[in-house]
Chain A
Amino acid sequence: MNRKILLALSTALLMGVSSVQAQDVAKIAMVAELSGAGAPAGTNWRDGIKIAIEEINADGGILGKQVELPEYDTQTDPQVSRAMVQKAIDDGAFAILGTIYSGSTLVNMLVAQQSEIPQFVGSEAPTIVQKGNPFVFRTSSGAQKGVPALVPYFTDTLKAQKVGIAWVNNEFGKGGRDVFAAEMEKIGIEVIADVPSEQGATDYASDVAKLKDSGADAVFVYMNQEEAARFLIEAKKQGLSMPLVGEVTLTEAKVIELAGGAAENAIAHVGVTATATEIPGIAEFNEKFVAQFKRNPTHDAIKGYIGAWATKYVTEKVGEFDGAKFADAMKNLCLPVAEYPRMLLDTCWDETGEMSRPSFMVQVKDGAPVVIGTVPAN
């Protein structure tokens, strides 16, 4: 009899403890490409978020609650990503950070929207913020904002008359390619070679041979990390001499690591870069990341970091864990770095969830990305 009472009391006590724990914890779900082709982006995204969550918890959490960060791997598969977002919501997440691959985000953001869960994504395809989803927010500018920032570089610096485009045939690549081609048409630069390749492609011999023979003055390279690295290796192998200019990924740390010397002199416009160490917040983040993970952070790491901190700042502005109120608060919101230092740069969102902030032109020199110019917010 005593044993039964003891068992019942223990169970009740444990239930009480877990109930108290559940009440004191807020869950932010990290849903990202931790394996498959998107793993370089996803693991950086995750690790940037981890640093942010440690800082947030050290800072008292969100609205007094400590933050838990359950991780969900999409395997870089859109259908899996949809299931993972649903699982994260079922597990009680009040916000979702991810995904990065646009093809996945376009599929899974509908699930978060139905449950009115705010979702910060690392994706850059223009279509993501054109679907009228009030719960999706970018952590970097979409291609329709980022790619036009490159135009002055092609016209003023390279003085290009004819350009080639090498792009990966997925949602991300198509978005960037379309915006770039439209921008070139607007200013009268001829796209002389338009070379798509499949996601996960390994052999770029024919792509580079076509570009080499096209007579282009410069090539716009718009691919994911591993594909960009393979492209650069093949470009060096075949002696492709024209400037290779990309948006975001082309000068990332992972691409430089994979391509080695083949990445030298590659140029890219990046929304945010860990090499912009003249900005105090970025320098501090960079140091923490290197100390904790023994490698340099990519822009995806900073995007994840910003997404986590934005979640805290906006939730505390709203004053409660309410997805609909969160979405309302995000409309035309600006978080100046003077007031919100962990945003690293002055950051604004419009009514569609599109982001705007200053950005950088970066070139690979001596095996490291170096900032060669800044681009004002557009």
Chain B
Amino acid sequence: MSQFLQVLLSGLATGSIYALVAIGFTLVWQAAQTVNFAQGEFVMVPAFFVLVGMHVLGFPLALAVGFALLASIVVLGFVFKKLIVEPILPSGGISLIIATMALGILLRESVKEFYGAEAQPFPPLFPTDPIHVFGAVVSMQDLLNLVISLGVVILLTLFLNRTRTGRSMQAAAQNPAVAEILGVDVKRMIMYAFLINAALAALASFLITPVYLAKFSNGETLGLVAFIAAIVGGFNQIRGALVGGLLIGVLDNFVATYITAEYRAALPLILLIVIILLRPQGIMGTSEGRAV
């Protein structure tokens, strides 16, 4: 029972972080009709912003995290949108996809060049001591990661559905021309989507790096798994990205624990194939609808 609870919790915690990254894929897709293949690197880079804040600027951890969040929103949100998306988007989605691939390589190699190829230690944001839940010893860190990730997803959903700005973002995503006629500042709404994506990626980075360690190559696997999670859940729905992330996180841990650890890396790919064959729009996705 203890093992089952721990594996479930670890799977949900990791899956919720996958979900944060997958939601970023969805947001960018809705806003710019493109796939950001540098999304994994967008999760890797903020951890290094924290390390720069701590080791170069001499900030304490909390301030360094705040600095990294701000730097991520500016660099991975605003600058990314202005310098890469806006100039390339008129050339078509494919050009932009290739540009994001190149950006991913650039970010990876830049971090490797300036911070080294070795993994770096990253301080945990929460207590690492385990706690007792229903007689089982489970990880406090996993529990808090899960609560924070799900909390952020709920807040984001409320923001998009219950606020004027959120509804404007949805309108801009569904039909930009009509939204513009109705007075929505479409460009600004698209910019918001990119800024939120950067903030989500930074949050995922702060939560996962204490366990994964800060390394230039961290984004490779994370980006791929989150991309698959977004497809499995439904690429055009936030709730789909959430379901996809949690499903992959939990299945990965259960398969590794109770079936085989040797083929766990293949699990997301198998899931992807099954979903594409049986339900191409994803578990929660819709065939034609687009809604943020």
Binding site for B on A (CB under 8 A): 34-36, 39-40, 43, 169, 195-198, 200, 202-203, 205-207, 209-210, 212-213, 226, 229-230, 233-234, 236-239, 254, 257-262
Cβ contacts B251-263/A at 8 Å (1 or 0 each): 0111011000110
A141 CB to nearest B CB, Å:
25
A209: which of B3, B120, B129, B221 is its contact (CB, 8 Å)?
Answer: B3
A39-B118, A202-B212, A230-B212 known; A238 vs B261 contact (CB < 8 Å):
no
Assess the A205–B10 pair: CB atoms within 8 A: yes
Q: Which residue of A lies closest to B210 (CB)?
A: A233
Q: Which residue of A lies closest to B7 (CB)?
A: A209
Asked whether B130 is an interface residue with its Cβ less than 8 Å from the other chain, the reply is yes
Assess the A39–B256 pair: CB atoms within 8 A: no
Most chain B beta-carbon neighbours within 10 Å: one of A195, A198, A202 = A202
In chain B between 234 and 267, which residues have their CB closer than 8 angstroms to a CB of chain A? 252-254, 256-257, 261-262, 264-265
B190 CB to nearest A CB, Å:
33
A219 CB to nearest B CB, Å:
15
Assess the B211–A238 pair: CB atoms within 8 A: no
Q: Complex Cα distance A50/B14, Å?
A: 42
Top-9 shortest CB links A-B? A205-B10, A239-B130, A206-B256, A35-B117, A206-B257, A213-B3, A39-B117, A237-B139, A202-B212
Assess the A207–B121 pair: CB atoms within 8 A: no
Assess the A239–B137 pair: CB atoms within 8 A: yes
A196-B262, A205-B253 known; A210 vs B212 contact (CB < 8 Å):
no
Q: Complex Cα distance A290/B6, Å?
A: 41
Contacts of A259 in B (CB 8 A): 121
Q: Complex Cα distance A233/B142, Å?
A: 12
Contacts of A257 in B (CB 8 A): 121
A238: which of B117, B121, B139, B213 is its contact (CB, 8 Å)?
Answer: B139
Assess the A237–B142 pair: CB atoms within 8 A: yes
Contacts of B265 in A (CB 8 A): 198
Q: Complex Cα distance A206/B265, Å?
A: 13
Q: Complex Cα distance A210/B11, Å?
A: 14
A169-B262, A230-B213 known; A210 vs B118 contact (CB < 8 Å):
no
Asked whether B168 is an interface residue with its Cβ less than 8 Å from the other chain, the reply is no
A39-B116, A226-B119, A237-B139 known; A206 vs B210 contact (CB < 8 Å):
no
Assess the A34–B7 pair: CB atoms within 8 A: no
Assess the B210–A254 pair: CB atoms within 8 A: no
Contacts of B140 in A (CB 8 A): 237
Q: Which residue of B lies closest to A195 (CB)?
A: B261
Asked whether B279 is an interface residue with its Cβ less than 8 Å from the other chain, the reply is no
Asked whether B2 is an interface residue with its Cβ less than 8 Å from the other chain, the reply is yes
B213 CB to nearest A CB, Å:
6
Interface of B is mostly: helix
Assess the A205–B212 pair: CB atoms within 8 A: no
Q: Which residue of A lies closest to B120 (CB)?
A: A258
Asked whether B81 is an interface residue with its Cβ less than 8 Å from the other chain, the reply is no
Asked whether B170 is an interface residue with its Cβ less than 8 Å from the other chain, the reply is no
A213-B3, A226-B119 known; A205 vs B11 contact (CB < 8 Å):
yes
Q: Which residue of A lies closest to B132 (CB)?
A: A239
A238-B137, A260-B121 known; A206 vs B116 contact (CB < 8 Å):
no
Asked whether B110 is an interface residue with its Cβ less than 8 Å from the other chain, the reply is no
Q: Complex Cα distance A35/B129, Å?
A: 33
In chain B between 38 and 91, which residues have their CB closer than 8 angstroms to a CB of chain A? none
A234-B211, A238-B137, A262-B128 known; A209 vs B119 contact (CB < 8 Å):
no
Contacts of B213 in A (CB 8 A): 202, 226, 229-230, 233, 258
A233-B211, A234-B211, A257-B121 known; A202 vs B218 contact (CB < 8 Å):
yes
Assess the A230–B117 pair: CB atoms within 8 A: no
Asked whether B167 is an interface residue with its Cβ less than 8 Å from the other chain, the reply is no
Asked whether B16 is an interface residue with its Cβ less than 8 Å from the other chain, the reply is no
Of the A-B pairs whose beta carbons lie under 8 Å apart in the complex, a sample of 29, sorted by A's number, is A34-B117, A39-B116, A39-B117, A43-B118, A202-B213, A203-B212, A205-B6, A205-B7, A205-B10, A205-B14, A205-B142, A207-B261, A209-B6, A209-B7, A209-B253, A226-B119, A230-B211, A230-B213, A234-B211, A236-B128, A237-B128, A237-B141, A237-B142, A237-B211, A238-B130, A238-B138, A239-B130, A239-B139, A258-B121
B221 CB to nearest A CB, Å:
7
A367 CB to nearest B CB, Å:
12
Q: Complex Cα distance A73/B236, Å?
A: 43
New contact pairs (8) apart from A39-B118, A213-B3, A238-B139, CB-CB < 8 Å: A40-B119, A196-B262, A198-B262, A198-B265, A202-B213, A233-B128, A237-B130, A239-B139
Contacts of A212 in B (CB 8 A): 2-3, 6
Assess the B14–A203 pair: CB atoms within 8 A: yes
Assess the B215–A226 pair: CB atoms within 8 A: yes
Q: Which residue of A lies closest to B11 (CB)?
A: A205
Assess the B261–A209 pair: CB atoms within 8 A: no
A372 CB to nearest B CB, Å:
25
Contacts of B254 in A (CB 8 A): 206
Q: Complex Cα distance A237/B142, Å?
A: 8
Contacts of B290 in A (CB 8 A): none
A207-B256, A207-B261 known; A35 vs B112 contact (CB < 8 Å):
yes
Q: Complex Cα distance A260/B129, Å?
A: 13
A197: which of B7, B14, B261 is its contact (CB, 8 Å)?
Answer: B261
B20 CB to nearest A CB, Å:
16
A99 CB to nearest B CB, Å:
15
Cβ contacts B1-43/A at 8 Å (1 or 0 each): 0110011001100100000000000000000000000000000
Q: Complex Cα distance A115/B253, Å?
A: 48
A55 CB to nearest B CB, Å:
26
B113 CB to nearest A CB, Å:
10
Contacts of B130 in A (CB 8 A): 237-239
B135 CB to nearest A CB, Å:
13
Q: Complex Cα distance A55/B243, Å?
A: 61
Contacts of B118 in A (CB 8 A): 39-40, 43, 226, 254
